[in-house]
Structure 1
Amino acid sequence: MKLTPDWLTAPGTQAVIDAIESGGHRAWFVGGSVRNGLLDLDVSDIDITTDARPERVVELAESAGIKAVPTGLDHGTVTLVADHTPYEITTLRRDVSTDGRRATVAFTERLEEDAHRRDFTMNALYAMRDGTVIDPTGEGLADLNDRRLRFIGNARDRIAEDYLRILRFFRFHAWYADPTGGIDPEGLAACAEMASGIDRLSKERIGAEMKKLLAAPDPAPAVAAMAKSGVLSQTLPGADARLLPVLVAIEGGLAPNAIRRLAALGGEGVADRLRLSRAEAKELETLREEMGSEKGPAELGYRHGFEVARDVLLLRAAQFETPLRPQDLHRAQLGGLAVFPIKAADLMPAFEGPELGRELARLEARWIASGFTLTKQALLSL
């Protein structure tokens, strides 16, 4: 089997391989680029593994005029930048010891040892520079062809090496597995048994993984499995997965939004547990507050802009299991474009201090209730 994507023959890609092979070393593409290439999906990162040591990779790259960035020399990783494209180059490795978060590695020259330290069979596929695919575990190609997600070897052993693999198991299931084929029972049982290990992970790693999961076209089956196994409650105490499939169905062809879907899950202290950015935390807080408010579509659009208003309307529709009404979206759009015509200066000096604020709020409420039709003169006459 061979890969035939455009990135394989790109000048930058070939220049990087040429540089490594010029020193008598071997190099293979590995991981997501091979997996997605075989699935004819977009490739965002091109990872390469080699039998050359990291210092040697830097030396060869610089000799070829390629920029080398020592992003993780202790773990065997160097980033090369060729033709404005970054390539992560990692020396073949085997694990010496792990603590569930980090691994102590040793370099190896055997592709099989490197493959067996990876997480899932579909992620342990390699490709030569001509696109020829290599499957060291003997299971990766078959599992990828069947869209079946499985850990390499013993699932518990793989999770013990890095507890983030629990969350990756559900994320990769949402993105790459056949939803009609069910979830691997051995992998699910291992995730349920070892879920407490999630507490040993950094909040940043957990948050990044959850956002990637919820950005999948339809994460609902995977999240339902998380809930059933106890992984969801371990990750987000108080979260409830039941609203998510309804929301996904109502979203239709709308682009996935991880924060909107987080609002549907609920939970306690979500922003802190997932180390959301300030903007993400504010968006999540607004969505959850407005889900239960009495503000109409127009006012939601005016207060928060169309996109937030639309997401609130989606969440409300999911709560009541009703379709999203086009007329409500139209009102939200009008609200998002509306500009309140009254300024504080228009009411001074007749009103000052707290009274000025109250009068502005009163007139704004009347203006919103009118569907934004009252003019400045009409409002001032009130």
Structure 2
Amino acid sequence: MKTLNAPWLSAPNTQRILSTLTDAGFEAYVVGGTVRNIVLGAPVSDIDISTSARPDQVTAIFEAAGIKVVPTGIDHGTVTAVLDGEPFEITTFRKDIETDGRRAVIQFSDTMAEDAFRRDFTMNALYCDAAGVIYDPVGGLPDLERRYVRFIDDPDTRIREDYLRILRFFRFHAWYGDDAEGLDAEGLAACAAHVDGLDGLSRERVGAEFLKLLSAPHPETALGAMEQSGVLARLLPGAGCKTVFALSALEADPDPIMRLAAIGGEDVTERLRLSKKQTAKLDLLRIAMGSSETIESLAYRHGGPIATAAVYLRSALFETALPEGWQSAVERGSTATFPVKARDLPASIEGPALGRALREIEQRWINARFDVSKSELLSDYLGDS
């Protein structure tokens, strides 16, 4: 029997949360991504707990123990216990009694097995008790150890329960799968067969899921499978992976918006419900990657990160090596300060003419790669005018 020995499990707060439930006569296990990530040696950000206790029982037990309880998802059986400022999400065992491809009607369950079989992938249905003993009702541990993303039981059934699982299948492979092993053929076929189901999902959910995929260190294999299966075209008509593959060869940073610019596609902002900030960055990168604006100018006008992303996107798009000295160009542009102020120009230049004059002088300065003094700029401009 495999056991875990992890600091988060032996921590006093975790042990107290678990023992508070088990001492009251209920089952309590750390579950899902927490167990998965520890087995993989990946970071753990949240501790999720699954229990046989009903939400009202969980609340009463913890309040009696002097532990704060917040009803964060009471309709779905979830409350959050807060101990010394640390949150623990606690969810009652559940089973689905009705699904429509977007959401499920759940019923509380008394068994770990029923709770496990309503989950998506085998690697996400692992449980661990306070002693570190792992419970594996669906055979997920072997899949996890070989880094193989597999649906629980029938993939078609799992996908029809929630069509977002199509995107989660690719996202989980991007983050946790073994590219040498490849994607599960049965799962991939099911995703292709049910691609129409993506149309009924909220675009906020779709966008959030896809950006998580694009944030993975190396999502290329998952993206390629999405393209070949028709999922990518359904998600973003006109999108393609060629430039993303080239970005990977250039060892670009895993910036999801940069990768989104490389993928292309129609109506991306609307289809993924991007935020205003994300949209502004995407639009800027799309323009910059196809423009002739110098690296220095991009860095000066938009900052070093945008200029750096544009350098990588241009090289990937045109399949060329990164330009020599590009880092120095980004540094020059991002640290340059325009030396001329409105007060430096004659008082006779005012209103719109003043703005035009400053822009013209600034462009001369940029064209000279910032290597012109204020006096030279003013002398040249006033002499020309």
In 1: Cα distance, 2:149 partner to 2:312 partner: 31
The answer to whether the aligner puts 1:185 opposite 2:185 as a matched pair is yes
Amino acid at match of 2:323: R
> Does 7-16 or 89-98 show the bigger shift?
7-16
Q: Deviations over 1:273-306 (max 9, x none)?
A: 1111111111111000111111111101101000
* TM-fit CA distance, 1:173: 0.6
| Corresponding residue number in structure 2 for 1:365 | 363
* TM-fit CA distance, 1:115: 0.7
Structure 1 length as normaliser, TM-score? 0.97
| Corresponding residue number in structure 2 for 1:52 | 53
* TM-fit CA distance, 1:44: 1.2
> Does 49-58 or 348-357 show the bigger shift?
348-357
* TM-fit CA distance, 1:243: 1.0
Is the partner of 2:340 in helix, strand or coil?
Answer: coil
User: Which residue, out of 277, 283, 297, partners 2:275?
Assistant: 277
In 2: Cα distance, 1:122 partner to 1:7 partner: 19
* TM-fit CA distance, 1:155: 0.3
In 2: Cα distance, 1:282 partner to 1:75 partner: 36
Structure 1 gaps, min length 5? none
| Corresponding residue number in structure 2 for 1:379 | 377
| Corresponding residue number in structure 2 for 1:195 | 195
**Where has structure 1 moved over 3 Å in runs of 4 or more?**
none
* TM-fit CA distance, 1:268: 1.2
| Corresponding residue number in structure 1 for 2:251 | 251
> Does 257-266 or 320-329 show the bigger shift?
320-329
The answer to whether the aligner puts 1:321 opposite 2:319 as a matched pair is yes
Is the partner of 1:151 in helix, strand or coil?
Answer: coil
Is the partner of 2:97 in helix, strand or coil?
Answer: strand
The answer to whether the aligner puts 1:175 opposite 2:175 as a matched pair is yes
Is the partner of 1:342 in helix, strand or coil?
Answer: coil
Contact 1:298–1:332 (CA under 8 A) maintained in structure 2 = yes
Amino acid at match of 2:103: R
> Does 14-23 or 24-33 show the bigger shift?
14-23
Is the partner of 1:70 in helix, strand or coil?
Answer: strand
User: Which residue, out of 328, 335, 339, partners 2:333?
Assistant: 335
In 2: Cα distance, 1:120 partner to 1:60 partner: 31
In 2: Cα distance, 1:64 partner to 1:307 partner: 50
* TM-fit CA distance, 1:66: 1.5
Contact 1:13–1:82 (CA under 8 A) maintained in structure 2 = no
Q: Deviations over 1:232-252 (max 9, x none)?
A: 111112111111111022135
| Corresponding residue number in structure 1 for 2:308 | 310
| Corresponding residue number in structure 2 for 1:216 | 216
| Corresponding residue number in structure 2 for 1:19 | 20
* TM-fit CA distance, 1:335: 0.3
Amino acid at match of 1:71: T
In 2: Cα distance, 1:353 partner to 1:283 partner: 31
> Does 47-56 or 79-88 show the bigger shift?
79-88
* TM-fit CA distance, 1:318: 0.6
| Corresponding residue number in structure 2 for 1:229 | 229
In 1: Cα distance, 2:84 partner to 2:208 partner: 29
| Corresponding residue number in structure 1 for 2:383 | none
In 2: Cα distance, 1:66 partner to 1:269 partner: 48
| Corresponding residue number in structure 1 for 2:143 | 143
Is the partner of 2:205 in helix, strand or coil?
Answer: helix
Q: Deviations over 1:333-368 (max 9, x none)?
A: 110011111122322423223322222121111101
In 1: Cα distance, 2:201 partner to 2:213 partner: 17
Contact 1:301–1:335 (CA under 8 A) maintained in structure 2 = yes
- How many residues matched? 379
Q: Deviations over 1:256-284 (max 9, x none)?
A: 11111101001112122111111111111
Structure 2 length as normaliser, TM-score? 0.96
| Corresponding residue number in structure 2 for 1:353 | 351
In 1: Cα distance, 2:322 partner to 2:337 partner: 25
Q: Once superposed, what is the RMSD of the aligned Cα atoms? A: 1.2
Is the partner of 1:322 in helix, strand or coil?
Answer: coil
* TM-fit CA distance, 1:326: 5.1
